[in-house]
Amino acid sequence: MKILRFAALMMVSVAIASSNATAQNLKPSDNAALRYWSAFAQIQDAGITQEQGREAHAILDGTAPYDDSKYRDIIEKNRPAVETMIRGTALPYCDWGMEFQMGPNAPVDYARKAGFLGRLNVFYAFHLLIGGDKDGAVRALQAGLRFSHDVANGGTLFATVVAQGLIVAHLQAAAGFQKVAGLSAAQRAALQKSIDQLGQDGLDWAGAMKREMEVLPTHDAQEAAARDKIAASYVRLLNNPGTLPELQQTISNAPKQIADLIPNPKRVLDQKQDLAEKLQQTRTLLQ
Amino acid sequence: MSIPDDDQFEKYLKQFRPVAGEPLMVKEKAEARSRPLVFAACAAVAAAIVLAVVMSVLVHKPTQPPGPTEEASTTRVSMEEFGNPPPLTIASANALLESAPSFKAAIDNMAFQQESKPISEGRYSLLALLSKEDVKQ
0.90 surpassed by pTM: no
Tell me the mean pLDDT in the region A267-278: 95
Residue of B nearest to A54 (CA): B112
Q: Output the CA angle B54-B60-B61, nearest 5 degrees.
A: 90
Element housing A278 (H / E): helix A265-286
What percent of chain A shows pLDDT beyond 70?
Answer: 92
Q: Of residues A81 and A50, which shows the higher confidence score?
A: A81
- Tell me the backbone φ, ψ of residue A155, rounded to 5 degrees: -100, -175
CB A125, CB A180: distance < 8 Å: no
Q: Select from B103, B108, B127 the residue whose CB has the most chain A CBs within 10 Å, as the one to mutate to test that interface.
A: B103
Q: Of residues A21 and B108, which shows the higher confidence score?
A: B108
Q: Output the CA angle A11-A12-A13, nearest 5 degrees.
A: 90
- Other beta carbons within 10 angstroms of residue B25's beta carbon come to 8
Confidence of residue A259 (pLDDT cuts 50, 70, 90): very high
The answer to whether the Cβ–Cβ distance between B131 and A162 falls below 8 Å is no
End-to-end CA distance of chain B: 103
pLDDT tens, position by position, for chain B (137 residues)?
Answer: 455 578 888 888 888 777 776 666 554 444 445 566 667 776 777 777 766 666 655 544 444 444 444 444 443 443 344 456 678 999 999 888 988 888 888 887 776 554 445 554 544 443 333 333 333 33
Element housing A4 (H / E): helix A2-25
Element housing B133 (H / E): helix B126-136
* ipTM higher than threshold 0.95: no
Q: Select from A63, A158, A167 the residue whose CB has the most chain B CBs within 10 Å, as the one to mutate to test that interface.
A: A158
- Residues in A closer than 8 angstroms to B134, CB to CB, are 69-71, 73
Considering all CA atoms of chain B, what is the largest pairwise distance in Å, rounded to the nearest integer?
119
- pLDDT for the residue numbered B29: 47
Cα(A180)–Cα(A82) distance, integer angstroms:
24
Query: pLDDT tens, A114-169?
Result: 998 999 999 999 999 999 999 999 999 999 999 999 999 999 999 999 999 999 99
Distances in whole angstroms, Cα of residue A231 to Cα of each of A209, A213, A256, B22, B97: 7, 6, 16, 86, 19
Cα(B99)–Cα(A51) distance, integer angstroms:
23
Residue A35 CB contacts under 8 Å (≥ 6 apart), including other chains: A84, A85, A87, A88, A91
Closest CA to A47 of B134, B105, B101, B107: B134
The answer to whether the Cβ–Cβ distance between B127 and A77 falls below 8 Å is yes
The answer to whether the Cβ–Cβ distance between B125 and A158 falls below 8 Å is no
- pLDDT for the residue numbered B136: 35
Q: Of residues A198 and B55, which shows the higher confidence score?
A: A198
Residue A56 has pLDDT above 90, yes or no: no
CB A259, CB A250: distance < 8 Å: no
Closest CA to A161 of A121, A118, A196: A118
The B residues from 42 to 101 touching A (CB cutoff 8 Å) are 63, 65, 83, 85, 87-91, 93-94, 97-98
Q: Of residues A35 and B99, which shows the higher confidence score?
A: A35
DSSP type of residue A104: G
Closest CA to A279 of A172, A207, A143: A172
Cα(B83)–Cα(B88) distance, integer angstroms:
15
Cα(A207)–Cα(B19) distance, integer angstroms:
92
Cα(B61)–Cα(B49) distance, integer angstroms:
18
- pLDDT for the residue numbered B73: 43
Query: pLDDT tens, A89-116?
Result: 999 999 999 999 999 999 999 999 999 8
DSSP type of residue B125: -
Size of interface A-B (CB pairs under 8 A): 123
Q: Which of A17-21, A104-108, A276-280 is predicted with the least confidence, judged by mean pLDDT? A: A17-21
